[in-house]
Structure 1
Amino acid sequence: MKLDLKIQPLSSWIKATNDNQPLLIAGPCSAETEEQLVATAHLLAQTGKVSALRAGIWKPRTRPGEFEGIGSIGLEWLKRAKAETGLPTAVEVATAKHVEEALKAGVDILWVGARSTANPFTVQEIADALRGVDVPVMVKNPVNPDITLWIGALERINNAGITKLAAIHRGFSSYEKSAFRNEPMWDLAINLKTHAPDLPIINDPSHITGNRDLIPYISQKALDMDMQGLMIESHIDPSVAWTDAKQQVTPKALAELIDHLTLRKPEVKSAEIKDALADLRSSIDKIDDLVIQKLAERMQIVEKIGNYKKDNGITILQVNRWDEILKKGVQYGKALKLDNDFTEKLLELIHSESIRKQTEIMNAGTGVKENLTHV
């Protein structure tokens, strides 16, 4: 289902500094001192690669006692940085008061943070404060992988009349340990793009990685996924940063990082390449049709099994059988050069639908309705 968002093109409110580099919003995680912020802004401006200066003024922290931002005085520092460098400024807002103070100070771009996006009451408060204002607003994905919350936040801001709108993909919290601070979960960003094709999505590799060494990898992946820009944290001296020191880079390192990224075009202009891609995509479409056909045939057999189990008083789930399917399938997929994780997730999805169908058969005529999606 397509979202009915009224959105102005990204180029109407922010642009990349040149056609050969990505749109870049950069600056320190936190504005710490006036000297730190202004000096960082000057170095970023000198790179010629930064389109806007970002800085955290109010910092929502997980636990009390941690540095929660310098507060409103930081807005004056941003005004000075903008006056001296010409860079537009961007800050995170989490309350109506933040919105009012930021706008009064002439901040050019606002963003809603991940913790705020997770709370519809907070988002609505921010949206109400924005009503009647013409300012760009970016909305980060919620902390947890819930695309409905992300969409809801975007809709609330858009319903307030904000048409200069973008999403920020900063990754999601996960119990699984990995190399990343927040799991990218690219499929959720792709899902959002499917719902809102005209919505710009800006990637935040700093918060995804939590590690400056991984920022180039995620940045390139984001650009290859046709995201419209990057938000990267940059500090004049990350080693002494008051917050998130490990994920910040110096302005010089940032410039080198951007120089090594490759911008690829989403549209194909060559007729020869278009024809070649069309042939390959036609082949994929035929295979996809066969896959769906075979899945439908499988589910017909599942229904027969469900009826047999019901007639003979057999439980839906036999753990040993499921283990056998999973082990055999993963081994077979590996032999065919399929990723183990992909094969396992595919089999789990198919098995989940099989359980749902059999549950539906078991409860037919009993008045019990099940919406079982996971084993």
Structure 2
Amino acid sequence: MSVQTMNVKEVAKKVLNKEQLFILDVRNEDDFNDWKIEGEQFSYVNTPYFDLIDGIDPIKDQLPTDQDILVVCAKGGSSEFVGEMLVEEGYENVYSLEGGMKAWSEHLEPIKVADLTDGGELYQFVRLGKGCLSYMIISGDEAATIDAVRMTDVFVDFAKEKGAKITHALDTHLHADHISGGRRLAEKTGATYWLPPKDATEVQFEYKPLNDQDVIQVGSSNIDVHALYSPGHTIGSTSFIVDDQYLLSGDILFVNSIGRPDLAGKAEDWVGDLRETLYSRYKEVSSELYVLPAHFMTNDELNEDGSVGEKLGTLYEKNHGLNVEDESEFRSMVTENLPPQPNSHQEIRETNMGKISPDHDRQREMEIGPNRCAIQ
């Protein structure tokens, strides 16, 4: 018997279905502590690969004999080696994660969020390994993406399966934690790429300016995407009200937190914009709107179906970031609780501006690590 493989889609199903899984992570301790596969029913042992080259004796008493064991490393090679040793020692149901954490970082799980006007549909693409959330609106034979990530084939193929072609690609802002797929989608499909102009002052490519109160119609039905200028995470951050029912908040508002204003080094300048958006602009829209953010922090924010979202009125009741009445206290909370910067954030910003064009392997390296777009 040899070690079996488990692909990232199978792992994603275990996360969403809250199944049990034992993970032996053989990456370095710092890498594991910084970022791992999160699962409500998962158990973990982290022992670096180099500590196991001579055998698995150091961890034998920590491994289950009655449960699947998934061995995880960065790319899939070391996990296969360790998995083979486990099998040789008599362990059954041992799996190596195919493609390792790099593959986990790239997996997208499409989840239907809602039916829209005239047969339209709204889908959320959950990037479990990175905390990114992308969206697709389908109306007849047309589709629009919002905050698409760089794995653009997923969106093109999904639209094709639904009998639609992507005609619009929108970004709520210039992203700093992951590489946007919006421009590439436009190049591949002929779609219009929309970007807030205040975030696009340094971009090196053509785009359609996305201004406050712009309305984009998707398909021949009455599904409208209303742009709502909502600065704070960036100076150009723009939210979208879709079909008068859903508020796509970008990185301004999350289920359990609020966006950080410092990824362009302007925390003190932009914290006032962030407060105005959260405490004034969003107060002017219906509290019945269902908020769909561009990121989530932990799996606690996943709903039963695996989607992420909550009604705006509920967030005003429960989200601490929306309930700090004193402005100076709000400023302190935001500027003094900033998490570490996302890995390679400046390089990612420059990629999204079109200033640099890293190859595929470098892009994967740049995105390794957890989501860090929220105030902790």
TM superposition score category, shorter chain reference: under 0.3
TM-score, reference length from structure 1? 0.26
Whose helix fraction is larger, Structure 1's or Structure 2's? 1
Q: Work out which of the two has the higher radius of gyration on C-alpha atoms and give 1 or 2.
A: 1
Q: Give the number of the structure whose residues are more often strand, by fraction.
A: 2
